[in-house]
């Protein structure tokens, strides 16, 4: 009996230890050998800027009509993001839309700081963004669905060209890292979220193992994206993952096309 009680006490601790070990391995897989993250990394003559929030990124996209964000970082107060916006002369209320690469907490966490913004995500990601479903990865195992307070204005479809003022974002479904992960192409910049990772040697790796719902599907998505964009390779000036620095040109993606 005593032994059983002890086991019942130890089992959750063992599970927790296994989770921690898994996450540590996952984090290592994300950051080891990755292209370093650089705050303020900019594209399209400075009109697109990366804002680093801890180990993740949000992106400011500026046009004549104001600002759109790709992702919102993880800080609920969006402190670094609002500071970067302020340096460009914008208030949080000037952000008219946020397009999410996916619904993980480190990409949507700051969105509540921009209550006026319209929110966009792929249809398959809406429940995750709104907190009606948990992530299909290791972290999801220890969580219950809980409302994020965010409401998607309009669900997006694969292949759609989303027009936001003067900005057009082309949407590509990348199921794998999460069910509704997306890559977004805007003015030669391919925002790839966590659907791929850039390595310091210039290669593009697949989505991180531990934090992805279905890594094999994620690899297949990357191959499919490479095949789709191959005929338009000259349009791709930058490949921009959320947790590592950008890769210049289309080659790292084209390496994923099969013979
Ligand atoms: Zn993610």
**Is residue 136 a part of any domain in this protein?**
yes
**Is residue 9 a part of any domain in this protein?**
no
Query: Dihedral through CA 150, CA 151, CA 155, CA 158, nearest 10?
Result: 10
What global pTM score does this model have? 0.89
CA gap 122, 166 in Å, rounded: 21
CA of 249 to the centre of ligand 1 (A): 23
CA of 255 to the centre of ligand 1 (A): 23
How many structural domains compose the chain?
1
**Is residue 8 a part of any domain in this protein?**
no
Residue 11 is predicted with a pLDDT of 65
For residue range 33-70, list pLDDT tens digits in order: 899 999 999 999 999 999 999 999 999 999 988 899 99
Q: Which residues of the chain have pLDDT under 70?
A: 1-9, 11-31, 259
Strands (E), the chain: 42-43, 48-53, 56-63, 66-70, 95-99, 118-122, 154-156, 161-164, 167-173, 182-186, 189-193, 197-198, 204-205, 238-241, 247-248
CA of 4 to the centre of ligand 1 (A): 38
Could you tell me the two tokens for 146? 């809980």
CA of 155 to the centre of ligand 1 (A): 19
CA of 206 to the centre of ligand 1 (A): 12
**Is residue 5 a part of any domain in this protein?**
no
- Tell me if 97 sits within 8 A of 69, measured CB to CB: yes
Tell me the CATH number at 89: 3.60.15.10
CA of 46 to the centre of ligand 1 (A): 26
Strands 161-164 and 167-173: antiparallel
Query: What is the residue range of 189's domain?
Result: 37-254
CA of 181 to the centre of ligand 1 (A): 8
């Amino acid at each position: 009996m005593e032994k059983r009680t002890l086991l019942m006490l130890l089992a959750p601790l063992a599970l927790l230890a296994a989770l921690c070990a898994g996450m540590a391995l996952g984090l290592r897989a994300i950051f080891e050998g990755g292209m370093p993250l650089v705050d303020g990394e900019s594209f399209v003559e400075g009109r697109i800027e990366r804002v680093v929030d801890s180990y993740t990124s949000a992106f400011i996209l500026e046009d004549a009509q104001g600002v759109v964000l790709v992702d919102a970082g993880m800080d609920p107060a969006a402190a670094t993001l609002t500071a970067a916006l302020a340096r460009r002369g914008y208030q949080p209320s000037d952000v008219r839309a946020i397009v999410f690469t996916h619904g993980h907490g480190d990409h949507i966490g700051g969105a509540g700081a921009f209550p006026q913004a319209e929110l966009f995500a792929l249809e398959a990601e809406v429940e995750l963004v709104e907190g009606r479903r948990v992530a299909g990865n290791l972290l999801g195992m220890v969580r219950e669905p809980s409302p994020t307070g965010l409401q998607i204005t309009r669900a997006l479809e694969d292949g759609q060209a989303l027009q936001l003022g003067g900005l057009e974002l082309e949407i590509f479904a990348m199921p794998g890292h999460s069910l509704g992960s997306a890559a977004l192409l805007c003015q030669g910049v391919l925002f790839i979220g966590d659907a791929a990772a850039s390595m310091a040697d210039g290669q593009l790796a697949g989505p991180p193992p531990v934090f992805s719902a279905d890594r094999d599907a994620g690899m297949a998505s990357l191959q499919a994206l490479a095949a789709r964009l191959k005929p338009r390779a000259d349009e791709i000036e930058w490949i921009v993952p959320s947790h590592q620095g950008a890769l210049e040109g289309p080659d790292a993606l084209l390496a994923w096309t099969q013979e």
